Amino acid sequence: MPGSREARIEALRGRIAAIEAGTRTPTPVLPFGDPRIDDRLPGGGLPRAGWHEVVGEGLEGESGASTAAFAALLARPRISKGAVVWVLRRSDLYAPGLVNLGFPVERLVMVRVRDEAEGLSVLEDALATPGVSVAIGEAEAPDLVAGRRLQLACERAGGFGIVLHRRPYGGPARGATGSAAFSRWRVGPAPGRAPPPDSLGGGLGLGPPAWRVALERCRGGRPGAWILEHSEADHGPHPFRVVSELADHDLAQTPPERLRRVG
């Protein structure tokens, strides 16, 4: 709401984020709605125009399933309107799974590319295109030059970008050569909580998906680690809920019988 207290606070957060992160243009931020995360981000949230990296743990570096779900929810608050472009190396994005996460697949444009260079080029073009609110692309190790081009494209059109680090055809991992991303998140699946008990005293099915998430780097921010789960509760603009904040990367104590493994 223009002129409202919330709008003025959000604009102030954007200016603070730009100063601390060193971006060319002040940009508003989108908070998670939980101070355990927002206090570690400059300006109290992720910038609405910028790109981010999501890295998977273990086999997630090849399958990309858990990281893709996390990226979809990370981007979802930015896609209330406009097109969403997903740049793929393989045609294995599971659209019904995105629907279950509230992702607007009716505005999703999937682009299959031949190699990483072509993928980064398509991702840059998508981020610079008016009307594209979010662009997500797979890449194994974008270099600094490619990263800076992505950031400039975000600033020109106000787009929100995510690069999923993925080796879709396996093979040895290539070392990172540096990054121009605003933030880097390392993500792996976490034990999900059991669903609420039914009338017979036992819950059916699986609980909400959960992730073990580490904010490894953030310009102007501080690292952190949490267990997050998908939640639509009215506690914040992001569809995540903090289950626990991790210290020394240990899970919070939870009775084993209440845990169910989710993919």
Tell which CATH architecture fits domain 47-191+208-243: 3-Layer(aba) Sandwich (3.40)
Token pair of 101 as six digits: 């996460």
Q: CA angle, corner 145, sides to 141 and 146, nearest 5?
A: 55
Contact 69, 189 (CB under 8 A): no
- Record the pTM: 0.79
pLDDT of 236 reads: 66
Burial of 231 (0-12, 13-18, 19+ CB in 10 A): middle
Question: How confident is the model at residue 59, as a pLDDT?
Answer: 80
What confidence tens digit (pLDDT) does each residue in 68-122 have? Answer: 999 999 999 888 889 999 999 999 999 999 998 989 999 999 999 999 999 999 9
What are the residue ranges in the chain where pLDDT is below 70?
1-27, 174-178, 196-205, 233-236, 247-263
